[in-house]
C-alpha cells in the first residue's frame, strides 16, 4: 500500500508531582515527567555524575532564572513574589541530583517525609520535576499547564526552592513550593461548632463511560479514553483499537526501556514504519507519538500542549490506534502511541 504522510513526533513529558497534604496530579511537569520536546532526535549523553550544588543562599544562574520567570508571571497577575527558602533550595538541589542518578521513577522518600526531615512546617506542598534542555524551555511548557498555573499563580504558596542538576546538555529541574505553617496554622479540635448534617442533594446521573476494551491495561485504556475525548471534542471520529498495533507499541516501549534510548528509530526494529511492516501492519497513513512521564494524565496533557503531537492525535486520516505503556526507571513510564489510517 502507499505509505504516505508518515508522522513522527517524540517528547519526554514534563513531570509534575503535586504532593503533600493534598495529593493530586497536575501537568506534568507536566504533574507531570519532563519538558523535553525533542522531535525524536534525542542523543545519548556521556557517563555523568550528579552535580548537586552546595546548600547556599545564593542561587545558581539557572535557579535564578526559574525564580525570575515565576515571579514575573506572578507580577503580571498582581501577586507578590514568592520568597526563597534556603532549606527548600537545599532539598530541591538534593532532589535534582537524585533525579540525575536514578531518574524520575527511582526517587527515594515522599515530599512530606523530606519536608519533615528538614523541619519545614507547611499546610500545602507541591513538587515539580522537569527534564529540559534549558530553564526557559521548561518554563514555557510548564506555564501552559492549568495545574502548574494554579500552583504558581495562586495564594496557597508563599515559599519556594529551586534546584538544578546537569547531565550533559540536559537539566534536571526541581521546584518545591510550600505554604502555611502546618499544625500551628490549623484550628485546634473543638474550636469550631460541630457542623450541621449536610442537606440531601440529588446527584446527577453519571455520564456514560466507554466499555473497557479487553486486552488493554488500565493505563492504556485511560490514554485511549483521553485521546478519543479530544477527537470527539473537535468533531472527529474516535479511534478504534487495533490489538496487533497495541502489541507493536508495547514492544517499542519495552525496547526503549531495555536499551535505554528515546527515539523513533529503534536499534532493534528500525523506524516505526519499518517496525509496523515487519509485524504485518498495513496502512496508507501512519504516525507515532512518544512520551515519558509518571502518569497518563501528565503524558496526555503535554502531548496536547505540543503542536506536532496534538496534530497526530487530531489527524482525521488516522482511524486506528495502538497504545503501549511500560514502566520506566528513568521517566516513570514510557508511552508509545501508534496511529494508522
**Residues 6-25: pLDDT tens digits?**
666 554 434 333 222 122 22
pLDDT at position 186, please? 37
The full set of domain ranges for the chain reads 61-179, 218-340
The listed CATH number (1.10.1060.10, 3.40.33.10, 3.40.630.10, 3.30.70.20) that belongs to domain 218-340: 3.40.33.10
* DSSP secondary structure letter of residue 20: S
Distance, in Å, from the CA atom of 266 to the CA atom of 336, rounded to the nearest integer, reads 12
- pLDDT at position 9: 53
> What radius of gyration, in Å, describes the C-alpha atoms of the chain?
22
Alpha carbon 219 to its chain centroid, in Å, reads: 14
Cell of 301: 496533557
Q: Residue 340: which of 2, 52, 82 has the closest Cα? A: 2
Give pLDDT < 70 ranges for the chain: 1-57, 104-107, 182-213
Say what the pLDDT of residue 100 is.
Answer: 82
Burial 294-305 (b: 16+ CB within 10 A, else e): bbbbbbbbbbbb
Residue 308 has a pLDDT of 85
**CATH fold of 61-179, please?**
Pathogenesis-related Protein p14a (3.40.33)
Q: Is the separation of the CB atoms in 143 and 149 below 8 Å?
A: yes
* pLDDT value, residue 7: 61
Are the folds of 61-179 and 218-340 the same?
Answer: yes
Give CA–CA dist 278/289, Å, rounded: 19
Q: Which of 265, 279, 224, 257 is nearest to 326 (CA)?
A: 257
Q: Residue 290, Cα to own-chain centre: how many angstroms?
A: 13
Amino acid at each position: 500500500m502507499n505509505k504516505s504522510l508518515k508522522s513522527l513526533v517524540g517528547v519526554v513529558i514534563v513531570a509534575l508531582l503535586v504532593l503533600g497534604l493534598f495529593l493530586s496530579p497536575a501537568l506534568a511537569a507536566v504533574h507531570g515527567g519532563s519538558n523535553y520536546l525533542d522531535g525524536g532526535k534525542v542523543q545519548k549523553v556521556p557517563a555523568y555524575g550528579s552535580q548537586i550544588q552546595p546548600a547556599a543562599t545564593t542561587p545558581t544562574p539557572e535557579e535564578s532564572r526559574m525564580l525570575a520567570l515565576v515571579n514575573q508571571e506572578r507580577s503580571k497577575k498582581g501577586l507578590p513574589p514568592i520568597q526563597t527558602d534556603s532549606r527548600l533550595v537545599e532539598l530541591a538541589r538534593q532532589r535534582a541530583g537524585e533525579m540525575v542518578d536514578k531518574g524520575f521513577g527511582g526517587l527515594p522518600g515522599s515530599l512530606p517525609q523530606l519536608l519533615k526531615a528538614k523541619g519545614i512546617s507547611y499546610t500545602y506542598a507541591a513538587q515539580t520535576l522537569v527534564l529540559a534542555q534549558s530553564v526557559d524551555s521548561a518554563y514555557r511548557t510548564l506555564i501552559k499547564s492549568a495545574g502548574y498555573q494554579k500552583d504558581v499563580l495562586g495564594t496557597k504558596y508563599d515559599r519556594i526552592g529551586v534546584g538544578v542538576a546537569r547531565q550533559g546538555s540536559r537539566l534536571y529541574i526541581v521546584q518545591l513550593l510550600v505554604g502555611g505553617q502546618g499544625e500551628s496554622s490549623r484550628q485546634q479540635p473543638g474550636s469550631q461548632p460541630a457542623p450541621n448534617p449536610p442537606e440531601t442533594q440529588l446527584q446527577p446521573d453519571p455520564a456514560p463511560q466507554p466499555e473497557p476494551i479487553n486486552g488493554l491495561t488500565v493505563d492504556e485504556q485511560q490514554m485511549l479514553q483521553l485521546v478519543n475525548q479530544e477527537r470527539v471534542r473537535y468533531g472527529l471520529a474516535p479511534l478504534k483499537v487495533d490489538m496487533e498495533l497495541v502489541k507493536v507499541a508495547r514492544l517499542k516501549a519495552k525496547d526503549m526501556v531495555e536499551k535505554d534510548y528515546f527515539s523513533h528509530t529503534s536499534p532493534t526494529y528500525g523506524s516505526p514504519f519499518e517496525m509496523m511492516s515487519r509485524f504485518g501492519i498495513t496502512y496508507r497513513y501512519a504516525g507515532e507519538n512518544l512520551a515519558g512521564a509518571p502518569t497518563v494524565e501528565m503524558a496526555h496533557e503535554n502531548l496536547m500542549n505540543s503542536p506536532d503531537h496534538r496534530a497526530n492525535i487530531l489527524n482525521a486520516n488516522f482511524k486506528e490506534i495502538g497504545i503501549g505503556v511500560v514502566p520506566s526507571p528513568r521517566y516513570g513510564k514510557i508511552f508509545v502511541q501508534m496511529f494508522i489510517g
